[in-house]
């Protein structure tokens, strides 16, 4: 049977060969960590009928159905499709985008992470590249999704301003700030912009809405948490709009396509080529 199976094509479509001969573990596409109740029901039925009655939850919000027999693959695809469930991808291409719950659910969230994850997925999912490429979107500085672990990480933030006329001098914001960026000077709240990390806690804690926040995206590049570990770097100011965000993402992936060797991760490409040209490209994209 081995001679008739195109393992590379199956892996590209999310079917990973198991150590048990003739069996595959199917990775599913879970965008931003969200599945509908109907999706979950379908996955459960397929796992029960074609697998061993269980699923595996991956470290990147994915679901895998182990013990799919080779001869059942087409039926599995068809039954999953009926329930709106798509296979994921493996190998050298853009993987499924991960995200926390963001501002739509979480009180700490500064951005709608799921909408960003869906748009990233629509733009880039499955794109062929020299090696795998991972996006992660997290809603705030709590960093539940560990944005800097990703090849391109996006973290929600807020650029804040204070309406001093509306301020009642309760100092709740000063106590809420974990970075020591706020203080009282001459009877007025002062902010040290060098210490501010865009967390937005001042905005969320103010009882009279004297603080105002403009949401944006803090982008990191080149995270790597495999055999080698490297924290992604933030090389740009906070980005205020999706148009700029996607220009920057396009520039990062384009750089990877242009300079990476086969089977070379993004971080290793940056280290080998040097970051000067990369910084130039993303700065140009940021400036529009």
What digits encode the pLDDT tens for the residues 166-219?
A: 999 999 999 999 999 999 999 999 999 999 999 999 999 999 999 999 999 999
Among the listed residues 202, 258, 268, 204, the one whose alpha carbon sits nearest the alpha carbon of residue 230: 268
Does residue 110 contact residue 140 with C-beta atoms inside 8 Å?
yes
**Structure-block tokens of residue 144:** 């539940």
Q: How far is CA 154 from CA 85, 126, 240, in A?
A: 26, 19, 12
Instruction: Name which of 155, 14, 36 is nearest 95 in CA terms.
Output: 14
Gyration radius of the chain's alpha carbons? 22
Q: Convert the pLDDT of each residue in 45-98 to its tens digit.
A: 999 999 999 999 999 999 999 999 999 999 999 999 999 999 999 999 999 999
Q: Which positions ≥6 away from 57 have C-beta within 8 Å?
A: 63
Nearest to 237 by CA among 259, 216, 257: 216
Residues 6 or more apart whose CB falls under 8 angstroms from that of 208 comprise 166, 167, 168
Helix (H, G, I), strand (E, B) or coil at 27: strand
With beta carbons less than 8 A apart as the criterion, state whether 288 and 247 touch. Answer: yes
* Predicted local distance difference test score (pLDDT) of residue 1: 47
Closest CA to 86 of 121, 57, 51: 121
What sign does the CA torsion over 11, 13, 19, 21 have?
A: negative
- In this model, does residue 3 exceed pLDDT 80? no
Residue 226: predicted pLDDT: 86
Query: Checking DSSP bridges between strand 135-138 and strand 188-191, what pairing results, if any?
Result: unpaired
- Which residue would you say has higher pLDDT here, 3 or 146? 146
pTM: 0.93
CB 24 within 8 A of CB 46: no
pLDDT mean over 19-23? 94
Residue range 237-261, pLDDT digits in tens: 999 999 999 999 999 999 999 999 9
């Amino acid at each position: 049977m081995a001679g008739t199976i195109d393992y590379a094509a199956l892996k590209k479509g999310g079917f990973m060969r198991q150590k048990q001969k003739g069996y595959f573990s199917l990775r599913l596409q879970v965008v931003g960590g969200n599945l509908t109740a109907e999706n979950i029901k379908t996955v459960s039925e397929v796992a029960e009928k074609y697998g061993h009655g269980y699923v595996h939850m991956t470290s990147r919000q994915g679901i895998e159905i182990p013990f799919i027999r080779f001869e059942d693959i087409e039926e599995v695809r068809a039954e999953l499709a009926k329930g709106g469930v798509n296979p994921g991808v493996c190998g050298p291409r853009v993987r499924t985008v991960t995200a926390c719950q963001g501002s739509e659910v979480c009180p700490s969230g500064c951005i709608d992470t799921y909408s960003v994850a869906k748009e990233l997925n629509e733009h880039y999912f499955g794109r062929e590249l020299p090696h795998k490429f991972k996006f992660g979107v997290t809603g705030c500085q709590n960093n539940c999704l560990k944005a800097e672990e990703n090849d391109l990480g996006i973290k929600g933030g807020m650029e804040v301003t204070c309406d001093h006329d509306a301020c009642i001098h309760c100092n709740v914001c000063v106590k809420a700030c974990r970075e020591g960026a706020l203080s009282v000077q001459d009877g007025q709240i002062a902010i040290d912009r060098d210490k501010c990390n865009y967390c937005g806690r001042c905005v969320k804690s103010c009882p009279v809405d004297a603080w105002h926040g403009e949401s944006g995206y803090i982008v990191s590049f080149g995270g790597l948490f495999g055999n080698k570990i490297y924290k992604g770097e933030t090389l740009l100011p906070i980005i205020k709009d999706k148009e700029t965000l996607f220009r920057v993402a396009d520039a990062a992936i384009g750089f990877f396509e242009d300079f990476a060797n086969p089977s070379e991760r993004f971080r290793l490409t940056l280290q080998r080529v040097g970051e000067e040209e990369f910084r130039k490209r993303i700065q140009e994209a940021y400036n529009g």
